[in-house]
Amino acid sequence: MGVRTSRRLARVLTAPFGSFIAGCETRAADPALVAKQVLIVLLLTAAGAVGAAIAWWGPREPLRQAVALGRRFPRLAATGLGMGLTLLPLVALEGVLRAVVALREQDRTIYSIPAFEEHPDLGYRPKAAVTTTATRYAPDGEVVYEVVYTMDREGRRAVPRSSSAAPRRAVAFFGCSFTFGEGLRDEETLPARYAERATSDLAINFGVPGYGPNHMLAILRSWTTNPLPDLPSPPLGVYLFIDGHIGRAIGSVYVVNRYGRRAPYFRLEDDELVVRRGSYLSGRFFTSITFWALGKSVILRELGFDWPRPGSSRSLRITAGIVRAASSEFAARTGGGRFYMVVYPGSRWGAEVARQAGVTVLDYTELFDPLESDYVIEGDGHPSAYAIPQLAGRLAQDLATSVSGSDSEPGAGMGPGAAAHPGDR
């Protein structure tokens, strides 16, 4: 075998490993996850060393037969040896980790009344006119939160309105559990806190846990008529972006295995036109089945592996295309309503997605540190009841300034607490 051929073969054999490492890096910011990755690599190394020791000091007759066979078929023997040294430690470690995970308690959320139902277009959605108590338990059985979720007649999270004045403008909030208000009471969600400050606005919560920009676009395209109330001022659309939405927009390994197998699947054609191709399962069946199989590996799950990488140019381009299409749909379906993309604090890729989408962006990446204990629900990771008012106050102020222009000072037309900024307590 020539030098060039050997180099090409080496590149082919190592390419999947390079992709695997890149996929792990996307979720390696968590120190506990990094430690877990190091431990698994050490275990793999140890398993390989044990296998080599057995081969070297084990029974001699099988070894002599293997050497004789290798001399007759050197390429076949080299291939078999390489596959054996690679697969046997992996299989052994997969079995050990599977047993460990089976014994480990998992966190879980229990609903007093089922809150969600299957939907042919969206995969699932909240049930209409349901009030349920959501209780989340930590792995040790401790209660993380216990809150009541109220859904309105349209299957949307209810938004209490404290002002008795007639609203002049509808503001539709889109997004995921951060918009829905997972772990928070009805009056603590982002739309509710916004409505407290922008007293002349009617906030409507279209956020649903697990949704991404693909769900938002599917919802907007399903509007045959404008479902927002007819009020004196044109409506606004507010989409709260987190980096996890990229995986939902591209249907990554993690998303397909958790909750997104039947989520809306959109493709970019000519890098511009966004076309619906059913769900991830129906529109790209073999890819989704492959992703599903990869997601069943305990090794990959424990390493935090995901693919495609959310920071890749293709992933960002697809996500931006979906957001751009959603912005156009919102304007068309509401008779010229303005659309805003709000980037949640700590985002790595939100500003770039907004730039490629060409939409109006309110970039709150530096508004506060989302990893600080005050800003997350302990034992859960969703925004806390302290974080949301900081975001809502800044949003109400910026929307008032952006929409009204020079005719309105920042904070005009808002209720108490409109000037909330990072650090205010």
The segments of the chain whose pLDDT lies below 50 read 1, 3, 6-7, 9-22, 25-29, 406-425
CA distance 19 to 13: 11
Element (H, E) at 131: strand 131-137
- Using DSSP bridges, classify how beta strands 201-205 and 169-174 pair: parallel, antiparallel or unpaired: parallel
| pLDDT on residue 225 | 86
Q: What is the largest CA-CA distance in the chain?
A: 91
**Predicted pLDDT of residue 161:** 85
Quote the pLDDT of residue 195.
Answer: 96
178, 364 Cβ separation under 8 angstroms: no
β-bridge pairing 338-343 and 236-241: parallel
Q: What span, in angstroms and rounded, lies between the C-alpha atoms of 248 and 263?
A: 8
- CATH for 108-407 is 3.40.50.1110
H-helix or E-strand containing 111?
strand 108-111
Q: Going by C-beta distance under 8 Å and a sequence separation of 6 or more, which residues neighbour residue 259?
A: 123, 124, 210
Lookup: tokens for 350: 């939100």
- Calculate the dihedral angle through the C-alpha atoms of 177, 180, 181, 185, rounding to the nearest 10 degrees: -140
Q: How many C-beta atoms surround the C-beta of residue 3 within 10 A? A: 7
Phi, psi dihedrals of residue 264, rounded to the nearest 5° = -60, 135
Please tell me the predicted confidence (pLDDT) of residue 305: 86
Summarised one tens digit per residue, pLDDT across range 124-176 is 999 999 999 999 998 888 999 999 999 999 999 999 987 778 899 999 999 99
**In 127-202, which residue ranges form alpha helices assigned H by DSSP?**
177-180, 190-197
Q: Which amino acid is at 269?
A: E
* Residue (of 232, 190, 158) closest to 396 by Cα position: 190
Ramachandran bin of 375, using left for φ above 0, alpha for ψ from -120 to 50, beta for the remaining angles: alpha
End-to-end CA distance of the chain: 70
Domain limits of the chain? 3-103, 108-407
- Secondary structure percentages of the chain, helix, strand, coil, to 5: 50, 15, 35
Distance between CA 263 and CA 120 in Å, rounded? Answer: 9
Q: Which amino acid is at 399?
A: L
Tell which residue, 253, 287, 273, 283, has the closest CA to residue 317.
273
Dihedral in degrees, nearest 10, Cα atoms 243, 245, 249, 255? 100
CA distances from 334 to 191, 252, 279, 420 (A): 19, 32, 26, 30
Residue 171 Cα to chain centre, angstroms: 24
Q: What's the token pair of residue 189?
A: 């969600």
Encode pLDDT of 365-399 as tens digits: 999 999 999 999 998 999 999 999 999 999 999 99
Residue 312 confidence (pLDDT): 94
